[in-house]
Amino acid sequence: MFGDQWIDAALLLRLIAIGGLFWIIPCVANPLLVALGRVNVILRIQLINQVIAVVGVVVAAMHGIEAVALAVIPISAAHAWVWLHYATGVVSVRVGSIVRAACVAMIVTAMALTVPAVVIIFGEGLGQVEVLILAAAGAAFGWLAGVFLCGHPLAAEVGRLVLHIKEASVRWGFVVLARGLGVGTQRSSQAEAPPAKRELSGGRINPETLR
Protein backbone atom coordinates (compact mmCIF):
# COMPACT_ATOMS: atom_id res chain seq x y z
CA MET A 1 0.00 0.00 0.00
CA PHE A 2 2.86 2.39 0.78
CA GLY A 3 5.11 1.24 -2.05
CA ASP A 4 8.15 -0.98 -2.45
CA GLN A 5 10.42 1.54 -0.73
CA TRP A 6 9.01 0.46 2.64
CA ILE A 7 9.79 -3.26 2.27
CA ASP A 8 13.10 -2.95 4.10
CA ALA A 9 11.29 -1.44 7.09
CA ALA A 10 9.45 -4.74 7.68
CA LEU A 11 12.54 -6.37 9.22
CA LEU A 12 13.10 -3.41 11.52
CA LEU A 13 9.49 -3.47 12.67
CA ARG A 14 9.74 -7.19 13.39
CA LEU A 15 12.74 -6.66 15.63
CA ILE A 16 11.05 -3.77 17.42
CA ALA A 17 7.90 -5.86 17.87
CA ILE A 18 9.94 -8.62 19.54
CA GLY A 19 11.34 -6.04 21.92
CA GLY A 20 7.81 -4.84 22.60
CA LEU A 21 7.04 -8.16 24.28
CA PHE A 22 8.90 -6.89 27.34
CA TRP A 23 6.92 -3.65 27.55
CA ILE A 24 4.05 -5.32 29.38
CA ILE A 25 6.01 -5.29 32.65
CA PRO A 26 6.60 -1.50 32.71
CA CYS A 27 2.98 -0.92 31.68
CA VAL A 28 1.83 -2.80 34.79
CA ALA A 29 4.57 -1.81 37.25
CA ASN A 30 4.46 1.93 36.55
CA PRO A 31 0.81 2.56 37.54
CA LEU A 32 1.20 0.13 40.43
CA LEU A 33 4.05 2.13 41.92
CA VAL A 34 2.20 5.39 41.25
CA ALA A 35 -0.86 4.07 43.09
CA LEU A 36 1.32 3.09 46.05
CA GLY A 37 2.89 6.55 46.13
CA ARG A 38 6.40 5.30 45.34
CA VAL A 39 7.33 8.07 42.92
CA ASN A 40 10.92 8.02 44.21
CA VAL A 41 11.25 4.41 43.06
CA ILE A 42 9.89 5.33 39.63
CA LEU A 43 12.45 8.15 39.34
CA ARG A 44 15.25 5.75 40.21
CA ILE A 45 14.02 3.23 37.63
CA GLN A 46 13.76 5.88 34.92
CA LEU A 47 17.30 7.11 35.57
CA ILE A 48 18.72 3.59 35.31
CA ASN A 49 16.70 2.77 32.21
CA GLN A 50 17.67 5.96 30.42
CA VAL A 51 21.35 5.19 30.97
CA ILE A 52 20.81 1.68 29.59
CA ALA A 53 18.94 3.02 26.55
CA VAL A 54 21.49 5.71 25.72
CA VAL A 55 24.45 3.36 26.02
CA GLY A 56 22.73 0.64 24.01
CA VAL A 57 21.62 2.92 21.18
CA VAL A 58 25.03 4.68 20.93
CA VAL A 59 26.87 1.37 20.72
CA ALA A 60 24.40 -0.09 18.21
CA ALA A 61 24.36 3.04 16.05
CA MET A 62 27.98 2.44 15.17
CA HIS A 63 26.91 -0.70 13.28
CA GLY A 64 23.90 0.60 11.36
CA ILE A 65 20.18 1.01 11.69
CA GLU A 66 19.59 -2.74 11.70
CA ALA A 67 21.79 -3.03 14.78
CA VAL A 68 19.77 -0.28 16.48
CA ALA A 69 16.53 -2.16 15.80
CA LEU A 70 18.13 -5.35 17.07
CA ALA A 71 19.35 -3.55 20.19
CA VAL A 72 15.75 -2.76 21.10
CA ILE A 73 15.32 -6.38 22.24
CA PRO A 74 18.05 -6.49 24.92
CA ILE A 75 17.35 -2.87 25.94
CA SER A 76 13.65 -3.64 26.46
CA ALA A 77 14.53 -6.81 28.34
CA ALA A 78 16.88 -4.87 30.62
CA HIS A 79 14.20 -2.23 31.24
CA ALA A 80 11.68 -4.93 32.11
CA TRP A 81 14.12 -6.54 34.54
CA VAL A 82 14.75 -3.21 36.29
CA TRP A 83 11.02 -2.52 36.63
CA LEU A 84 10.39 -6.04 37.88
CA HIS A 85 13.28 -5.90 40.35
CA TYR A 86 12.08 -2.71 42.03
CA ALA A 87 8.38 -3.62 41.82
CA THR A 88 8.91 -6.95 43.57
CA GLY A 89 10.79 -5.06 46.27
CA VAL A 90 7.70 -2.97 46.97
CA VAL A 91 5.00 -5.62 46.41
CA SER A 92 5.47 -9.21 47.51
CA VAL A 93 5.22 -10.79 44.07
CA ARG A 94 7.44 -13.68 43.07
CA VAL A 95 8.88 -14.00 39.61
CA GLY A 96 7.76 -17.63 39.44
CA SER A 97 4.11 -16.65 39.87
CA ILE A 98 4.45 -14.07 37.09
CA VAL A 99 5.99 -16.65 34.79
CA ARG A 100 3.25 -19.18 35.54
CA ALA A 101 0.53 -16.60 34.90
CA ALA A 102 2.24 -15.59 31.65
CA CYS A 103 2.43 -19.23 30.52
CA VAL A 104 -1.27 -19.74 31.21
CA ALA A 105 -2.10 -16.58 29.28
CA MET A 106 0.06 -17.74 26.37
CA ILE A 107 -1.75 -21.08 26.25
CA VAL A 108 -5.16 -19.39 26.30
CA THR A 109 -4.06 -17.01 23.54
CA ALA A 110 -2.73 -19.89 21.43
CA MET A 111 -6.01 -21.80 21.78
CA ALA A 112 -7.97 -18.70 20.83
CA LEU A 113 -5.87 -18.16 17.69
CA THR A 114 -5.81 -21.80 16.52
CA VAL A 115 -9.20 -21.89 14.77
CA PRO A 116 -8.83 -18.44 13.12
CA ALA A 117 -5.41 -19.46 11.81
CA VAL A 118 -6.81 -22.69 10.36
CA VAL A 119 -9.71 -20.82 8.76
CA ILE A 120 -7.41 -18.23 7.20
CA ILE A 121 -4.91 -20.80 5.91
CA PHE A 122 -7.30 -23.44 4.58
CA GLY A 123 -10.42 -21.35 3.88
CA GLU A 124 -9.45 -20.18 0.42
CA GLY A 125 -12.83 -21.02 -1.12
CA LEU A 126 -14.81 -19.12 1.51
CA GLY A 127 -16.00 -15.55 1.27
CA GLN A 128 -14.74 -12.76 3.46
CA VAL A 129 -17.90 -12.69 5.57
CA GLU A 130 -17.81 -16.45 6.08
CA VAL A 131 -14.14 -16.33 7.04
CA LEU A 132 -14.86 -13.52 9.50
CA ILE A 133 -17.78 -15.35 11.12
CA LEU A 134 -15.93 -18.66 11.39
CA ALA A 135 -12.77 -17.02 12.71
CA ALA A 136 -14.67 -14.98 15.30
CA ALA A 137 -16.73 -17.96 16.48
CA GLY A 138 -13.63 -20.17 16.60
CA ALA A 139 -11.68 -17.54 18.53
CA ALA A 140 -14.48 -17.19 21.09
CA PHE A 141 -14.82 -20.96 21.51
CA GLY A 142 -11.06 -21.46 21.74
CA TRP A 143 -10.72 -18.66 24.29
CA LEU A 144 -13.48 -20.09 26.50
CA ALA A 145 -12.02 -23.59 26.23
CA GLY A 146 -8.56 -22.31 27.13
CA VAL A 147 -9.87 -20.29 30.08
CA PHE A 148 -11.64 -23.29 31.63
CA LEU A 149 -9.06 -25.94 30.74
CA CYS A 150 -6.12 -23.92 32.06
CA GLY A 151 -7.90 -22.80 35.21
CA HIS A 152 -7.54 -19.13 34.34
CA PRO A 153 -8.85 -16.68 36.98
CA LEU A 154 -11.38 -15.43 34.42
CA ALA A 155 -13.08 -18.84 34.50
CA ALA A 156 -14.82 -17.97 37.77
CA GLU A 157 -16.01 -14.65 36.34
CA VAL A 158 -17.35 -16.32 33.20
CA GLY A 159 -19.14 -18.91 35.36
CA ARG A 160 -20.78 -16.18 37.44
CA LEU A 161 -21.81 -14.34 34.28
CA VAL A 162 -23.46 -17.49 32.89
CA LEU A 163 -25.24 -18.02 36.21
CA HIS A 164 -26.57 -14.45 36.22
CA ILE A 165 -27.80 -14.87 32.64
CA LYS A 166 -29.62 -18.08 33.59
CA GLU A 167 -31.24 -16.45 36.62
CA ALA A 168 -32.30 -13.43 34.57
CA SER A 169 -33.77 -15.64 31.84
CA VAL A 170 -35.71 -17.69 34.43
CA ARG A 171 -37.11 -14.53 36.04
CA TRP A 172 -38.05 -13.14 32.64
CA GLY A 173 -39.78 -16.42 31.76
CA PHE A 174 -41.79 -16.33 34.99
CA VAL A 175 -42.85 -12.73 34.31
CA VAL A 176 -43.99 -13.59 30.78
CA LEU A 177 -45.83 -16.68 32.06
CA ALA A 178 -47.51 -14.72 34.85
CA ARG A 179 -48.65 -12.02 32.45
CA GLY A 180 -50.00 -14.63 30.07
CA LEU A 181 -51.92 -16.39 32.84
CA GLY A 182 -53.23 -13.07 34.11
CA VAL A 183 -54.63 -12.10 30.70
CA GLY A 184 -56.16 -15.54 30.23
CA THR A 185 -57.81 -15.49 33.67
CA GLN A 186 -59.22 -12.01 33.09
CA ARG A 187 -60.71 -13.03 29.75
CA SER A 188 -62.26 -16.22 31.18
CA SER A 189 -63.78 -14.33 34.15
CA GLN A 190 -65.34 -11.78 31.82
CA ALA A 191 -66.73 -14.55 29.63
CA GLU A 192 -68.35 -16.37 32.60
CA ALA A 193 -69.84 -13.23 34.23
CA PRO A 194 -73.67 -12.62 34.12
CA PRO A 195 -75.02 -10.25 31.47
CA ALA A 196 -75.59 -7.50 34.01
CA LYS A 197 -72.02 -7.67 35.28
CA ARG A 198 -70.70 -7.76 31.77
CA GLU A 199 -72.66 -4.67 30.84
CA LEU A 200 -71.68 -2.95 34.08
CA SER A 201 -68.06 -3.79 33.45
CA GLY A 202 -68.37 -2.21 30.04
CA GLY A 203 -69.72 1.02 31.55
CA ARG A 204 -73.35 0.48 30.39
CA ILE A 205 -76.36 -0.19 32.68
CA ASN A 206 -79.37 -1.89 31.13
CA PRO A 207 -82.45 -1.68 33.39
CA GLU A 208 -83.97 -4.77 31.77
CA THR A 209 -81.12 -6.94 32.98
CA LEU A 210 -81.46 -5.65 36.56
CA ARG A 211 -85.14 -6.80 36.92
- Rounded to an integer, the average pLDDT of 76-105 is 82
Among 71-75, 89-93, 165-169, 195-199, name the one with the lowest average pLDDT.
Answer: 195-199
For the chain, which residues make up each domain, given as ranges? 8-92, 94-152, 162-210
User: What is the rounded distance in angstroms from the CA atom of residue 124 to the CA atom of residue 98?
Assistant: 40
How confident is the model over 5-24, as pLDDT tens digits? 777 777 888 888 888 888 88
Higher pLDDT, 204 or 75: 75
In sequence order, what are the residues at sequence separation of 6 or more whose Cβ sits closer than 8 angstroms to the Cβ of residue 189? none
- Rounded to an integer, the average pLDDT of 111-140 is 86
Model pTM?
0.52
